[in-house]
Amino acid sequence: MRREAALFGFREIATPIFEHTELFTLRSGPNVVEEIYAFQDKGGRDISLRPELTAPAMRFFVNELSSSARPLKMFYFGQCFRYERPQSGRFREFFQFGAELIGDPGPESDAEVIALAASIMRRIGLKQYTIRIGHIGVLRNMLAEAGVGPEAAPLILQKLDKKEYEEASQRMRDAGMDDERIGKVIDITNTVGPVEVLDKISGDAREHLLGIFRVLQAYGIDNIQVDLGVVRGLDYYTGMVFEMDAPVLGAEKQICGGGSYSLTELFGGEKTFSTGFGIGFDRTLLALEKEGYQAPVHSIDVYVLPVGDSTRQEAHHIAAQLRRAGISTDIDLMGRSLSKSMKYANGINARRTVIVGDKEMAQGSVTVRDMVTGEQTLVKREELLTFLEK
Amino acid sequence: MRREAALFGFREIATPIFEHTELFTLRSGPNVVEEIYAFQDKGGRDISLRPELTAPAMRFFVNELSSSARPLKMFYFGQCFRYERPQSGRFREFFQFGAELIGDPGPESDAEVIALAASIMRRIGLKQYTIRIGHIGVLRNMLAEAGVGPEAAPLILQKLDKKEYEEASQRMRDAGMDDERIGKVIDITNTVGPVEVLDKISGDAREHLLGIFRVLQAYGIDNIQVDLGVVRGLDYYTGMVFEMDAPVLGAEKQICGGGSYSLTELFGGEKTFSTGFGIGFDRTLLALEKEGYQAPVHSIDVYVLPVGDSTRQEAHHIAAQLRRAGISTDIDLMGRSLSKSMKYANGINARRTVIVGDKEMAQGSVTVRDMVTGEQTLVKREELLTFLEK
């Protein structure tokens, strides 16, 4: 994930594990305190273990980087914490990988961010994933045109986000909307499909999404859909919103969410449009595992094996030389027998052992054993490094 | 640091940011609560942000890895937290890099751990550092032979560790020691020098330290001294203890500390001898900076620059292709002018720009500009990747 983000020109940042609690209530509302690790420190300060990394990243931007050239592209990887009931792929301490592109609200910047998220999933080897892209402006505009005020709209959007249509309809009725308009909102929320379904809507949101799809086409990303029901839970999104699913996970399938937003003005900075995403790292790992992904087996280049006490000093010489040359090397430290050492070397997946015996050492040589083929070669001591580097 | 540890056959582990507070009081005594971020969570559990990583690593070992082949070699890098007054190179949230070799109390294992710490400092480019090695058994035995009981000894050792000789002497006097014995203890505490000063002592500790120095000689490590005054503050050390200093830091010069110890029995496991160290990462960074270390400048391989709207789609095609091939690539996302884009490309240290112009595109070519020499080359589109990979 880090490598892919760097290939896209994003740079890694790191922010503290805890922040003033206010940072998170500013972003997510006061109720978030119920779900997070919020404490008072010994100095009476209200602090919280970070439940997410967008707010810290934007605080960092406002405090330290606000005069940087735009767009500014950053990513992060770190632990977050929520006081919630643990479930499959959802822990109280969890890892989040995320990226933010700061300072440009255009469709190409939105597409760049989505392309990064998709490229990360391809690079880590996730076989099946889908991307659903919507635009928060579509439903917001429909509600505004129907006369729904800024107090009622967020709650309606939250219900629509959770696909709780009955409650959403009731709230729309309470806000004075007629059945026809309510039906249209529900219909738009259920609009899912290829880019052509955008014909259903018009205006800036449509043009913006078409621009995004055009760039993503250049990336050859095809597991992508319009989904105008993607609303995301939070008020601060300003335009495009997207989610990624790993179908192998079943009901709890979302592995990534993001969109364009503005938070800087909440943290004392100028209003700055940004686009970002967060990947649920643990859930993504779970998806990889369910797809049968095998993590690479840990191995080591060389195991150095002194036979008898008289060769131990020379064995340490050899280990020091190999390590300095960048060859990963382990060595018997306990003076074990040849057979026990061989067993240990197998256990740590050593590719070769360098056996340092009395007689060979007297002749200025060591024995190199290939642990896969079992082949043994007598190698002159001064040629050992060259031999192993081949 | 990670690379060097891997070259030595150590494997990375990660443990949670917070633990039950008891884990740290078991290791460091009840008073540690005054200096750490200790809280109650919403479920009434006493939890603490980890102030160090040895206790979590050993808890992890006891819970998950106790049946692994010995020796087990692990390292970690992560944030730790102490509620103390911040000072130069010492923060409330700080990073610690550490390693533990579990399951062998022999001198070669101790030497392996010291060699890793020293090799890390060499690999990261720290020019000046010294290693001081002692043995907790020397002073402990002297106190025991003088009849000092297990209640009084730790406090005396703590005073000796802090070089508070008057207080230490008073406590030794209170414990019934005569002036001659007290003088000898102070003399040993001040025993610093090359390996020959070990002639002052005898017994197992001397043999053990000689064994360690022999292996470290094989590593060509020469900035190393005996210092029998290294006591370390904590009771759980069992034998060899060592510290590393960066003289460039002045008074607060210690950057690494470690030794051999046993903690597993405190955490419900079998008694297991281990050797480990912790590097104060922030202070080590500070030492590097004071020595004039220059962090590598961040740069990017290619900046893709579409000229005019008609070439933007092709520009995204190119960026996607290069990134997929592992070439780090940024691209103009905002439709800026050529001169502004060039300025941005310079700002992010792009090594080359790929200029996608109308006319060249019509001929199936792009212009590649070397940002250092200013040289421009017309390159056929299908040869671009090969050209850039040269």
- Summarised one tens digit per residue, pLDDT across range A120-138 is 999 999 999 999 999 999 9
Cα–Cα distance measured from residue A283 to residue A304, given in angstroms and rounded to the nearest whole number:
40
- Whether A381 and A333 have beta carbons less than 8 Å apart is answered as no
Same domain as B304, residue B231:
no
Nearest Cα residue in chain B from A303: B9
Same domain as A211, residue A246:
yes
CB contact under 8 A, A326 and B115: no
Q: Which helix (H) or strand (E) holds B303?
A: strand B300-306
- Minimum distance, in Å, between the CA of residue A230 and any CA atom of chain B: 25
Q: Which residues of B touch A109 (CB under 8 A)?
A: 333-334
> According to the model, what pLDDT value does residue A89 have?
75
Same domain as B270, residue B367:
no
Average pLDDT of span A97-114: 97
Same domain as B304, residue B251:
no
- Minimum distance, in Å, between the CA of residue A184 and any CA atom of chain B: 34
Q: Of B290, B309, B334, at which residue does a domain stop? A: B290
> According to the model, what pLDDT value does residue B238 have?
86
Q: Looking at residue A80, which CATH number applies to its domain? A: 3.30.930.10
Residue A233 has pLDDT above 70, yes or no: no
Q: Of B241, B256, B290, at which residue does a domain stop? A: B290
Of B81, B214, B326, the CB nearest to A313: B214
pLDDT band, residue A230 (cuts 50/70/90):
very high
Alpha-carbon Rg for chain B in angstroms = 28
Q: Which residues of B touch A93 (CB under 8 A)?
A: 16-18
Of B215, B313, B331, the CB nearest to A214: B313
pLDDT band, residue B264 (cuts 50/70/90):
very high
Q: How many CA atoms lie within 13 A of A222 on its CB side?
A: 1
Short-list A181, A239, A261, CA closest to A168: A181
Q: Which residues of A touch B79 (CB under 8 A)?
A: 17
Same domain as A263, residue A222:
yes
Nearest Cα residue in chain A from B18: A93
Short-list B259, B253, B209, CA closest to B234: B259
Summarize pLDDT for A269-287 with one digit per residue, the tens. 999 999 999 999 999 999 9
Q: Which residues pair with B276 in a beta bridge?
A: B100, B259
> According to the model, what pLDDT value does residue A113 have?
98
Q: Looking at residue B324, which CATH number applies to its domain? A: 3.40.50.800
Residue B86 has pLDDT above 90, yes or no: no
CB contact under 8 A, A215 and B328: no
- Minimum distance, in Å, between the CA of residue B160 and any CA atom of chain A: 31
Same domain as B305, residue B237:
no
Residues in contact with B329: Cβ distance below 8 Å, sequence separation at least 6, in sequence order: A7, A8, A9, B300, B301, B302, B303, B304, B319, B322, B323
- Which amino acid appears at position A21 of this protein? T
Residue B113 has pLDDT above 70, yes or no: yes
Same domain as B168, residue B262:
yes
Same domain as B286, residue B324:
no
Q: Which residues of B touch A82 (CB under 8 A)?
A: none
Residues in contact with A309: Cβ distance below 8 Å, sequence separation at least 6, in sequence order: A335
Q: What ipTM score was computed for the predicted complex, to two decimals? A: 0.91
Is B200 among the domain residues? yes
- Minimum distance, in Å, between the CA of residue A155 and any CA atom of chain B: 27
Q: Which residues of B touch A331 (CB under 8 A)?
A: 9, 112
Q: Tokens 């893709």: give the residue.
A: B304
Is B295 among the domain residues? no
Is B280 among the domain residues? yes
CB contact under 8 A, B112 and A300: no
Of B17, B41, B79, the CB nearest to A83: B41
Residue B233 has pLDDT above 70, yes or no: no
What Å distances lie between residue A63 and A20, A60, B350, CA to CA? 14, 5, 26
Q: How many domains does chain A have?
A: 2
Same domain as A347, residue A248:
no
CB contact under 8 A, B9 and A330: yes
**DSSP one-letter string for B231-264:** --S-TTEEEEEEEEE-GGGTTS-EEEEEEEE--G
Mutation target vs A (from B35, B112, B215; most A CBs, 10 A cutoff): B215
Nearest Cα residue in chain A from B344: A69
CB contact under 8 A, B335 and A112: no
Of B83, B108, B119, the CB nearest to A41: B83
Residue A186 has pLDDT above 80, yes or no: yes
Is A142 among the domain residues? yes
Q: Of B232, B256, B290, at which residue does a domain stop? A: B290
Is B263 among the domain residues? yes
Cα–Cα distance measured from residue A234 to residue A243, given in angstroms and rounded to the nearest whole number:
14
Residue B151 has pLDDT above 90, yes or no: no
Summarize pLDDT for A340-351 with one digit per residue, the tens. 999 999 999 999
Short-list A349, A248, A351, A346, CA closest to A293: A248
Is A178 among the domain residues? yes
Same domain as A285, residue A311:
no
Nearest Cα residue in chain A from B303: A9
Same domain as B160, residue B51:
yes
Residue B173 has pLDDT above 70, yes or no: yes
Is A295 among the domain residues? no
CB contact under 8 A, B8 and A323: yes
Summarize pLDDT for B23-42 with one digit per residue, the tens. 999 888 888 899 999 999 99
Long-range contacts made by residues A265-271, C-beta under 8 angstroms, separation at least 24?
A: A266/A26, A266/A27, A266/A236, A267/A23, A267/A26, A267/A55, A267/A58, A267/A59, A267/A62, A268/A62, A269/A58, A269/A61, A269/A62, A269/A66, A270/A66
| Residue-number span of the structural domain to which A132 is assigned | 2-290
Average pLDDT of span A294-312: 94
Of B71, B324, B347, the CB nearest to A69: B347
Average pLDDT of span B157-163: 89
Q: In what order do the strands lie in the sheet with B376-380?
A: B329-331, B300-306, B350-356, B365-370, B376-380
CB contact under 8 A, A83 and B348: no
Q: Compute the residue count for chain B.
A: 390
Same domain as A321, residue A268:
no
CB contact under 8 A, B218 and A313: yes
> In the structure encoding, which two tokens stand for residue A174, read together?
């309470």
pLDDT band, residue A94 (cuts 50/70/90):
very high
Is B187 among the domain residues? yes
CB contact under 8 A, A328 and B6: yes
Q: Which residues of B touch A83 (CB under 8 A)?
A: 41-42
Short-list B312, B351, B346, B314, CA closest to B332: B312
pLDDT band, residue A232 (cuts 50/70/90):
confident
Cα–Cα distance measured from residue B107 to residue A246, given in angstroms and rounded to the nearest whole number:
51
